[in-house]
Amino acid sequence: MTTTAAPTLGNPIGNGNGGVPSEPVEAPQRPPNRRGLFDFALMSVLVYAVYAMTPIGAIVETGVNVARGQKERPSWLSTFKGRETAVAMSEEAVADASAAEGKIPLPIAAAADKHKIDVEALAALISVHGACTPTACDVETPPRTSTVYPPAATKARLSADEAAAAIAAATKEHGRNGELAVEALFVGSIPLKLALEQADRSHLDNAADVEVHAPFFTPSVRRGSLQGALGVIAVYRLRTLAWPADPGFRITSSFGDRVHPVTGKKAFHNGTDVGTPIGTPLHAAHNGGVKRQSRDSISGNYVVLDHGLGIETVYCHLDSAGVVEGARVERKNTVGLSGNTGRVTGPHLHYIVRVHDKPIDAEKVGESPTRGGGLSEPPPPPPPAKPVEPVKPAKAVKPKKPKAGEQAAVDAGPAPPPPAAPTPATPTSDAQTQAAPDQPAPPLAPVDAGY
């Protein structure tokens, strides 16, 4: 009889050792995984790129800034290539830049003269962020003013004198450039210096212009504190545009409605005509880029300059252009020679200033020879009221006792006055009695030909 062996306990699988458990086998060790750190670094770079360089990052940060109470902001779609330096200059700001044809309020003029600063920079700052009365002006303290003017650290508003002192301190650090002085009050002196250095190292033309060096600010500065400076700089540029020709040349046709010299119909004149002879050098109103250099049947040879912050100038009827499209120009560089190309009846310059594609009167801004300038006179104070003096009682006059020889004359009263001599009649003529005929109106000044 055959007996069957009972199953052995131990390793149920069996290992060839008669059921004896085997020694535990150690799993092979894997090398440490370092890809996690690399993935984290790569993801951080991608997130920063989205934040700094795309509309998504701009919209998110702008929304956060607006929620925190920031008044000035870039376009919601601010994104690549300088869109964050776009500024929506209001009609009120444009009107204020040309208000009273350049009149400067007395408190601003006095403060600028005391601290030896550019009066237009102070006027632009107070125009955008402050207020004036005939006797005093003040301004909301820009966010980084204390970096150049420590006394402003504890003040919510600055007087005109304090604001002028802050601009003077910024001018010492950044040179006599009104735009940089204003910008330093908003972004801080150190960030501005670093941005300017990087723009210079990149060999960029007009590195001092905000739209040129702004890309070197951090995104938080570009979308934050810089926004408050852009409106001030835009108004400052309007107030300091150079006149394109020698001021001695006569303005032959002003901005506004007129009878067109070619068509003979009433039409809106979108620029200012200056009677410059053929070959007269014409100058750029400000730093900027050549947006267009072309020719057509109406404007002839023309050049369009983009001065940034929504400001453009146009020079029409040129004999020849001295710049090419895409080039950078500096203030008062020659952009071409005056001529008589296009639809004209005589040589002249047709000069246009545009703000956000809307033409404005060039004679009311910048260094126009017809802009009034000077100081705004405060209204005269009312004369002080004269005190009412009490009426004193008249002293009683004692009558004098007449002498014996005068008694009869006293009793008779005063002698009657002698009769007046008759006045001889003055002869009159018909010409004197008739009304003067209407004088003929003086002849109208000739309207200069041109578009």
Judge contact between 252 and 338, C-beta under 8 A: no
pLDDT of residue 339: 96
pLDDT of residue 75: 59
| Nearest one of 367, 104, 98 to 241, comparing CA atoms | 367
213-224 pLDDT, tens per residue?
998 998 888 888
**Residue 158: band (very low, low, confident or very high) from pLDDT cuts 50, 70, 90:** very high
Whole-angstrom Cα Rg for the chain: 41
397-431 pLDDT, tens per residue?
555 555 555 444 444 444 455 555 544 444 333 33
| Nearest one of 250, 353, 267, 257 to 307, comparing CA atoms | 353
What percentage of the chain reaches a pLDDT higher than 90?
A: 45
pTM: 0.69
**Residue 233: band (very low, low, confident or very high) from pLDDT cuts 50, 70, 90:** very high
Q: Is the confidence at residue 225, as pLDDT, over 80?
A: yes
* Whole-Å CA distances, 72 to 54, 228, 244: 20, 6, 32
Give the position of tokens 């020698």.
246
pLDDT of residue 41: 80
Q: Is the confidence at residue 380, as pLDDT, over 80?
A: no
| Nearest one of 295, 259, 256, 252 to 276, comparing CA atoms | 252
pLDDT of residue 449: 40
Longest CA–CA span in the chain (Å) reads 204
Q: Is the confidence at residue 137, as pLDDT, over 50?
A: yes
pLDDT of residue 115: 96
Least confident of 2-6, 199-203, 360-364, 373-377: 373-377
Q: Who contacts 65 (Cβ-Cβ below 8 Å, separation ≥6)?
A: 73, 223, 224
CA distance 375 to 275: 30
Q: Is the confidence at residue 432, as pLDDT, over 50?
A: no
**Residue 159: band (very low, low, confident or very high) from pLDDT cuts 50, 70, 90:** very high
275-284 pLDDT, tens per residue?
999 999 999 9
pLDDT of residue 394: 55
Tell me which DSSP letter residue 30 carries. Answer: P
What is the identity of the amino acid at 300? G
72-116 pLDDT, tens per residue?
666 555 555 446 677 767 777 777 776 544 578 899 999 999 999
Average pLDDT score over the chain:
78
Judge contact between 348 and 274, C-beta under 8 A: yes
Tell me which DSSP letter residue 84 carries. Answer: G
**Residue 117: band (very low, low, confident or very high) from pLDDT cuts 50, 70, 90:** very high
pLDDT of residue 423: 47
CA distance 221 to 223: 6
Q: Is the confidence at residue 367, as pLDDT, over 60?
A: yes
Q: Structural domain boundaries of the chain? A: 84-239, 251-364
Phi, psi of 60 (to 5 degrees): -65, -50
Q: Is the confidence at residue 122, as pLDDT, over 90?
A: yes
Check residues 309 and 375 and name the one with the higher pLDDT. 309
238-276 pLDDT, tens per residue?
999 999 999 999 999 899 888 877 777 788 899 999 999
CA distance 305 to 289: 6
Q: Is the confidence at residue 318, as pLDDT, over 80?
A: yes
pLDDT of residue 24: 66
pLDDT of residue 264: 78
pLDDT of residue 266: 84
Q: Is the confidence at residue 30, as pLDDT, over 70?
A: no
What percentage of the chain reaches a pLDDT higher than 70?
A: 67
Give the position of tokens 């594609």.
357
pLDDT of residue 223: 82
**Top CATH class, 251-364:** mainly beta
What is the average per-residue pLDDT within 295-305? 95
Tell me which DSSP letter residue 72 carries. Answer: -
190-213 core/surface letters (b: 16 or more CB in 10 A; e: else): ebbeebbeebeeeebebbbbbbbb
